[in-house]
Chain A
Amino acid sequence: MDFNKNVGQPVSRLEGKLKVTGQAKYAAEYEADNLLHGYVVSSPITKGKIININIAQAMAIPGVVDVLSHKNRTKLAWFDLQYTDMDAPPGTVFKPLADENILYNGQPIALVVAESYETARYAATQVIFEYEQETFQTDLESNIPNGRSAKKGFATALKPPPPPPTGDFLNSFEQAPVKVAATFQHGTEHHNPIELFATTTIYEGKGKLTIYDKTQGTINNQLYVANIFGLHYKDVRVLAPFVGGGFGSGLRPQYQLFLCVMAALHLKRNVRVVLERKQMFFFSHRPPVKQNLRFASDVEGNVTALGHSVFSETSNFEDYTEAIANWSHKLYPAPNTLFNHKVVPLDVYTPLDMRAPGGSTGMHAIECTMDELAHKLKIDPLELRLINYSEIDPSSNKPYTSKALRNCYLQAADKFGWSNRNPEPRSTKRGNKWVGYGMATGIWDAFQFPARVEAMITKDGRMVLNNATTDIGTGTLTVMTQIAADELGLSLEEVDFNYGDSKKPFSMFQGGSSITSSTGVAIVVAAKALRKKLLKKAAKMPDSPFKNSEDAEVFFSAGNMHLKDQPNVFVSLKNIIASNNGKPIKTTNMGKPHMLKLRKYSLATHSASFVEVEVDQDLGTVMVTRAVTAVAAGKIINPKTAAGQISGSMIWGISKALHEETFMDHNLGKYMNTNLGEYHIPVHADIGQLEVIFVEEKDELINEIGTKGVGEIGLVGMPAAISNAIFNATGKRIYKLPIHFDELMQ
């Protein structure tokens, strides 16, 4: 094997040419004969009942084929269980068009199907509904008293509730010489990938469907469709070869999939449904959260008490939670802790994981509180982290499989020039701007899910791999190709990684920064089996020099299998396949986490972010002029695409800290800025200088390839680092995100 020939190299995205020439096709871009177009009608009311629907006017428009609503929808599976998807939180899954009840604003209430998109769009305005409105509750703050513990379910395994209390938090906090108590508020955010959610359903006849869907989980959506519509799962094929961003929004099937498939089955026609941007605010989102933190330390800066209580929004039908209060004790070894998390059910749609769910929200509050503690202690914020550095995970008393956070701190601080920081807030000026430095820690999970990969060598000596995962822009195709190429000693050009198709062997949805470890490990496992088979076949070739060779006695390089002790003795993969009558030699194998071994360890990626901000002395306008984030995430397969993941998520951190928020008018129970003009994500002008460092972190315990995932960790530390830099610049600490510049006006 030529391990590290491709792995570790900054390979440019293999699908790059398709993407820069417009050849990459997304879910709404597949042609189909006599395609019908569906347009969703969204509820204008927040809660109540539909008492009448008049479709006559809409149906009279030439080109309109049908208007589907709860009145005339096809019969569907009735049991909740059948609507359940792999990422469903405990509760009752929302069922589109199930009945007359309206549970939240923007709920899909009808689908208009027409011969053209424009006709469907127009006809949707001509469907007349009558409603009975009911009072509703959408405001987290005023419903805090209704907070309760979340129901437990499958999702609890991935997102455990906070750990139980340790020591005597209340007394130790009360009596501590140095303490900080603060309340943090975070607004709602929507994922807003730039691709509109879309599904194109090809009606193949005889109960068979081919579905091009915008999703992060082809198999998840395949099973969802099959279960609800009573189809055999083999008759449902979900394809997502290109996905225009996900960020979590594609972890669960969204309503355009359901409506599109229903229309296709009902009308026995090919149908496409594309959501409007506004309608993408009518599904899952990052929930608003209120957090109360109480941290205390001794006068030397040793943290003695950590208290963190969380109230987060959920819907009235599912208990969505995310790990928010779980992080501080994974980092800081305080003897006294008290954590809790309550959900507040409201008349909204169920929230859903959005890039670094929980971590980005919780760590903002945790690392701002640590910064405040450092300020009170008159200890440098980085020094405070180092004083409280723990090699093990204090919350579980388990060692980490690896933890190179200390080097993240040191390398990033060095690159950033942290030693130049003036600890006195509001003391450094650059023209009209106050300048501030801030830092924060990041921590995130290192997930690995079971995955199956089919691997084969074909008669032209190429390696073909099949797995159902998507590539939502993370670089999955490139990274998997790199891993596979090295396993068989091939060049990248000799490997075909096929993905984005539910027909391929199993992959979990693409979330939690898990796919490199999940599918990557499965590739390694499959490649090992494949090498064995190749050797076995080669041994049977006439006069084979490999007759008595063991697996460990051969290596693969440049398309050939060699004897290790006689490298000039080799056989080409092509010849091995030729000896198999040209039939590919193939294997399908499962890669899975080593649960038993890993149970003794804690698993996490870490990061340290250092930020410089400039804040206008009069007007308060903020610019993140530069930031450095160092990441310890095990083996980095592709430093180019991985750096893209980190700098991209650093920009998400800027956005979370300074820009994005969906705000709701609680009198109306609806989000008001449901468009990309008023839902602000950063534009190019908002982005200063960003640097990414990957800290060496060798992890031989975590999995076969030593990877931990890089999709989210880059976001986790940034919001607090920005908030802390703003405090250093201005002396003002803002306890809510996003920070609006007018709050910094002097």
Chain B
Amino acid sequence: MRSETQNLNHLKQGDCTVNLTVNGEQKILQVQPWVSLLDGLRDHLNLTGTKKGCDHGQCGACTIICDDKRILSCLTLAVMKNGSEITTVEGIAHGNELHPIQQAFIDHDAFQCGYCTPGQLCSAIGLIKEGKAQTREEVKELMSGNLCRCGANIGIIDAIMEVKAGGGHE
């Protein structure tokens, strides 16, 4: 991959080697320790599906699933996650078949500009897996770490409720 060769070319003293499984593929990141996991994914692995909306843990756009948990990749250093298994928005569909939550987002018009969407999707998958939210109120509370400025909130929660009702455990 282009990004990996680029990294090797740029290999400098102080770079750390970070082994990751990203969306099922082995990836080797050669990055300085101060590179966030978010920037590592976006700039070094060219996985730009994960979004940067604030870079300070206040919007949720950078949410990914790391070792089965939804976390914020902007407040994580790439080097902290050596050996981890990561799923980004690029990895939640099965080939050409959308994950039920992706289809539900389209069906319920759960986005407009689409920029918060990858974070909302990963967060929703994390929420369903956690199994702590049963009612609509609980889903809203446990999705509140993901801001949507377009105001697609109703569609987002509707989509999650639908997938939850359909037993969408993924």
**In the complex, chain B residues whose CB is within 8 Å of the CB of A651:** 151, 153
Mask of B66-109 contacts with A, CB within 8 angstroms, 1/0 = 00000000000000000000001110010000100010011101
Q: Are A17 and B48 in contact (CB under 8 A)?
A: no
**In the complex, chain A residues whose CB is within 8 Å of the CB of B50:** 22
> Among B54, B109, B151, which residue has its beta carbon within 8 angstroms of that of A640?
B109
A676 to B137, CA, bound (A): 23
Is A91 among interface residues, defined by CB-CB distance under 8 A? no
Q: Are A683 and B144 in contact (CB under 8 A)?
A: yes
Q: Are B153 and A22 in contact (CB under 8 A)?
A: no
In chain B, positions 1-36 with a C-beta closer than 8 Å to chain A are 2, 10, 32, 34-35
Q: Are B144 and A19 in contact (CB under 8 A)?
A: no
A643 to B158, CA, bound (A): 14
Mask of B117-136 contacts with A, CB within 8 angstroms, 1/0 = 11001000000000000000
Q: Are B156 and A195 in contact (CB under 8 A)?
A: no
Is B164 among interface residues, defined by CB-CB distance under 8 A? no
> Among B2, B32, B48, B149, which residue has its beta carbon within 8 angstroms of that of A194?
B149
A-B contact count (CB 8 A): 172
> Among A21, A647, A687, which residue has its beta carbon within 8 angstroms of that of B102?
A21
Known pairs A194-B51, A194-B113; A20 contacts B105 (CB<8 A): yes
Q: Are A118 and B39 in contact (CB under 8 A)?
A: yes
- 23 A-B residue contacts at CB 8 Å? A17-B98, A19-B117, A22-B50, A22-B90, A28-B48, A29-B48, A192-B149, A193-B149, A245-B113, A276-B55, A277-B55, A474-B112, A641-B109, A643-B109, A644-B109, A644-B152, A645-B112, A648-B112, A648-B152, A676-B54, A683-B144, A687-B140, A687-B157
**In the complex, chain B residues whose CB is within 8 Å of the CB of A645:** 112
Q: Are B152 and A676 in contact (CB under 8 A)?
A: no
Nearest-Cβ distance from residue B61 to partner chain A, whole angstroms = 6
Closest to A687 in B: B153
A245 to B53, CA, bound (A): 11
Q: Are A245 and B115 in contact (CB under 8 A)?
A: yes
Known pairs A196-B53, A276-B55, A677-B56; A690 contacts B154 (CB<8 A): yes
Selecting from A8-16, A68-76, A339-347, A611-619, the interface stretch reads A8-16
Is B155 among interface residues, defined by CB-CB distance under 8 A? yes
A115 to B43, CA, bound (A): 12
Q: Are B143 and A684 in contact (CB under 8 A)?
A: yes
> Among A20, A31, A243, A643, which residue has its beta carbon within 8 angstroms of that of B117?
A20
Known pairs A25-B48, A676-B58, A676-B147; A13 contacts B109 (CB<8 A): yes
In chain A, positions 1-49 with a C-beta closer than 8 Å to chain B are 12-13, 15-26, 28-29, 31
**In the complex, chain A residues whose CB is within 8 Å of the CB of B147:** 194, 676, 681, 683
Q: Are A195 and B113 in contact (CB under 8 A)?
A: yes
Known pairs A20-B117, A676-B54; A118 contacts B32 (CB<8 A): yes
Known pairs A22-B49, A193-B149, A681-B147; A687 contacts B154 (CB<8 A): yes
Known pairs A20-B105, A195-B53; A118 contacts B34 (CB<8 A): yes
> Among B35, B46, B113, B140, which residue has its beta carbon within 8 angstroms of that of A685?
B140
A652 to B156, CA, bound (A): 16
**In the complex, chain B residues whose CB is within 8 Å of the CB of A26:** 48, 51, 115
Residues of chain B at the chain A interface (Cβ within 8 Å): 2, 10, 32, 34-35, 39, 42-43, 46-59, 61, 88-90, 93, 98, 102, 105-107, 109, 111-118, 121, 137, 139-141, 143-157
**In the complex, chain A residues whose CB is within 8 Å of the CB of B154:** 647, 687, 690
Q: Are A647 and B113 in contact (CB under 8 A)?
A: no
**In the complex, chain A residues whose CB is within 8 Å of the CB of B98:** 17, 20-21
- A-B residue pairs, 9 tightest by C-beta: A22-B49, A244-B115, A473-B113, A648-B151, A19-B114, A473-B112, A651-B151, A22-B89, A683-B144
Is A675 among interface residues, defined by CB-CB distance under 8 A? yes
Closest to B90 in A: A22
Q: Are A682 and B153 in contact (CB under 8 A)?
A: yes
- Chain A interfacial residues counted at CB < 8 A: 60
Known pairs A19-B111, A194-B59, A245-B115; A650 contacts B53 (CB<8 A): no
Known pairs A19-B111, A685-B140; A247 contacts B102 (CB<8 A): no
Closest to B39 in A: A117
Q: Are A475 and B144 in contact (CB under 8 A)?
A: no
**In the complex, chain B residues whose CB is within 8 Å of the CB of A465:** none
Q: Are A12 and B107 in contact (CB under 8 A)?
A: yes
Is A242 among interface residues, defined by CB-CB distance under 8 A? yes
A196 to B109, CA, bound (A): 23
Nearest-Cβ distance from residue A646 to partner chain B, whole angstroms = 9
Q: Are B43 and A117 in contact (CB under 8 A)?
A: yes
Nearest-Cβ distance from residue B82 to partner chain A, whole angstroms = 18
**In the complex, chain A residues whose CB is within 8 Å of the CB of B52:** 28, 196, 274
**In the complex, chain B residues whose CB is within 8 Å of the CB of A245:** 112-113, 115, 149-150
Supplied contacts A194-B147, A195-B53, 14 more A-B pairs, CB within 8 Å: A20-B98, A21-B98, A194-B51, A243-B113, A244-B115, A245-B115, A473-B150, A648-B151, A648-B152, A676-B59, A677-B58, A681-B147, A684-B141, A687-B140
**In the complex, chain A residues whose CB is within 8 Å of the CB of B109:** 12-13, 640-641, 643-644
Known pairs A648-B112, A676-B54; A21 contacts B151 (CB<8 A): no
Mask of A637-659 contacts with B, CB within 8 angstroms, 1/0 = 00011011101111110000000
Known pairs A20-B117, A277-B54, A475-B112; A648 contacts B34 (CB<8 A): no
